[in-house]
Amino acid sequence: MTEPNVQRGTLLFWMAISLGVALLIVALGVGLQPAGAPILRAPLSSPAAGALGFGLLMVWAAYAYALSAGRAAGSQEMGVVILNLGLPVALILLWRAELNALAFFVALGWALTLGGMAVRLFRREALAGVMMLPLIGVSLTAILLSLTLWVLPAATGGA
């Protein structure tokens, strides 16, 4: 497998948008303390919070690279690309509103759209599909977190 041709203008465009979404997610997530799961919140001064924030930025940078590698993302995928940028922001907003059951289904839909897009990208440019794996991992974590936040308060008698 050789490294694909990456057009710098396209990469800068998607990198700015992807990192902007990552920063929006971090900004919306600051102070998010789900009911029934206070252990899930790391203090902002802890090294873990900084490492998680940096990791999130790197995951979204990989997404931008996947979109710009070779002829990976075309106009056919634009709706899915926008959906994949908007659904994680919607997840944070749903978690803030404590609509965890709905967040579970949004996270599930996000994982499915990412998986489908990764397969399509992989068929055209293998590295682009592989670069989707970190974000797919984040979406699977969002599914588990949403399920936990949905079920945990009910199990403890909180909801």
What is the SS3 string spanning 92-137?
Answer: HHHHHCCCHHHHHHHHHHHHHHHHHHHHHHHHHCHHHHHCCHHHHH
Q: What is the pLDDT along the chain (159 residues), one digit of tens a residue?
A: 567 777 788 889 989 999 999 999 888 877 776 655 555 566 667 676 778 778 888 999 999 988 888 765 566 778 888 899 999 999 999 988 889 899 999 999 999 999 999 998 898 888 888 999 999 999 999 999 888 888 876 655 655
pLDDT of residue 154: 60
Q: Read off the pTM.
A: 0.83
Predicted confidence at residue 53, as pLDDT, reads: 78
Report the C-alpha gap between 16 and 18 in whole angstroms: 6
pLDDT score of 1: 57
Tell me how far apart the alpha carbons of residues 27 and 92 are, in angstroms, rounded to a whole number. Answer: 10
Query: Which two structure tokens, joined as six digits, stand for 139?
Result: 């979406």
* Interatomic CA distance for residues 117 and 30, integer angstroms: 29
Residue 15's H or E segment, with its range, is: helix 8-29
Helix, strand or coil, per DSSP, at residue 59: helix
CA-only gyration radius of the chain, Å:
17
Q: Of the candidates 104, 111, 85, which has an alpha carbon nearest to the alpha carbon of residue 25?
A: 85
Q: Give the per-residue pLDDT at 156.
A: 57
pLDDT of residue 103: 93
pLDDT at 132: 92
pLDDT of residue 90: 94
8-state DSSP, 37: -
Q: What is the DSSP letter of 3?
A: P
